[in-house]
Amino acid sequence: MSNHFTGLSLGPPLGDQRLDLCDLYAFAAPGDQGRTVLILNANPNADALHPDAVYRLNIDNDGDHLADVAFSWVFSRPECDGSQTYSVFMATGAEARAPEAVGTEIVSDAAVSFGPRANVVGGGDYQVAAGSRSDAFFFDFDGIKNLFDTSGNRNFTAPHLGGKSPWTGVDSNTTANVFSMALELPTAELAPQPTLRIWGRCSVLRDGELLHVDRAGHPSMSSFFNTDDTKEEYNAGEPVDDREKWTDQFVHLLGHTGGYSREEAIAAIDEHGLLPDVLRFDPAKPAAYPNGRTFTEDVIDIRVALLTKNEAPPTGLSPHTDILDRFPYLGDPHPAASS
């Protein structure tokens, strides 16, 4: 749950965990470099998703940071027993930029899986699944609190460097589940030129219009770079506007956390490709963040190193071991949260 892992005053959109995007992954299917896997996780409670929301994977394949391909998940109202169904739509071209779930329906009224077994739906060259899965994100929450002064202050502005390591060595997420939307398809369908730029989007119906309430690109962006005052505007924004709107805020934060000059901060933002906030993936190259993202990269380690100008020690954590070698790749949900 890297997008909102802090548990501080930043909370779920509109106070609703169902609308909370957690992590975005992109990698080549194991054993088949001609297929791409895209996974968007939401709702750290791993229960039913919002029936008035559209959960979207946007893909820009030509570098203008506008969607050229979009996959939209929509969910039914849960039944009395908690069961839920979903449909998935694929849109291309200008239609991919519409906020609604439009395009070709590639999955229709499939069952969401809340038990230990994933319900994998095959639609032609596509594999799709939605439901509760084991969360692959690993992090040391107490270590984050030790490293940054967060008492009475949402912003991470005072890293405690030097002396004893802040890390506890304890993974705070070993038994967590998450609601996962997974898709595997031929890479050629995405037409990379050669790099894909991918971001997740969650929109919910309010007063007859879809309101953008969350997004996911790079891991841990909202957790570190946003404040309560800016999170709604940031989450509602589009990547094409990111650089103009958010460079100054990112520069300001890096000045506090790592002593960066403005020039150094902009250079670091560019080196890490943080703005626009999209996950870049060249399928012709091995996937490892920041080229796509798999389940094994310590993204908190990477992000903290950036924030502290490489002064913080590594976290020392290891990836989770329950990952599957087959679709939908995330491990079976932990029993305590399954139904």
The mean per-residue pLDDT over the stretch 187-191 comes to: 97
Phi, psi (5° rounding) for residue 258? Answer: -130, 5
3-state SS assignment for residue 55: strand
Give me the chain's average pLDDT, please.
92
State percent of the chain over pLDDT 70.
91
The mean per-residue pLDDT over the stretch 331-339 comes to: 74
What pLDDT, in 10s, does the model give residues 117-170?
Answer: 999 998 679 999 999 999 999 999 999 888 876 554 445 555 667 678 889 999
The mean per-residue pLDDT over the stretch 89-111 comes to: 97
- Judged against a pLDDT cut of 90, whether residue 338 lies above it is answered with no
This model's pTM is above 0.85? yes
Domain locations along the chain:
2-322
The Cα-based distances of 8 to 11, 141, 144, 224, 254 in angstroms read: 7, 11, 11, 11, 20
CA torsion through residues 52, 53, 54, 55, sign: negative
The mean per-residue pLDDT over the stretch 295-313 comes to: 94
What pLDDT, in 10s, does the model give residues 4-56?
Answer: 443 345 689 999 999 999 999 999 999 999 999 999 999 999 999 999 999 99
Locate 189 and state its tokens: 């369908």
Among the ranges given (122-126, 217-221, 248-252, 302-306), the one the predictor scored with the smallest mean pLDDT: 122-126
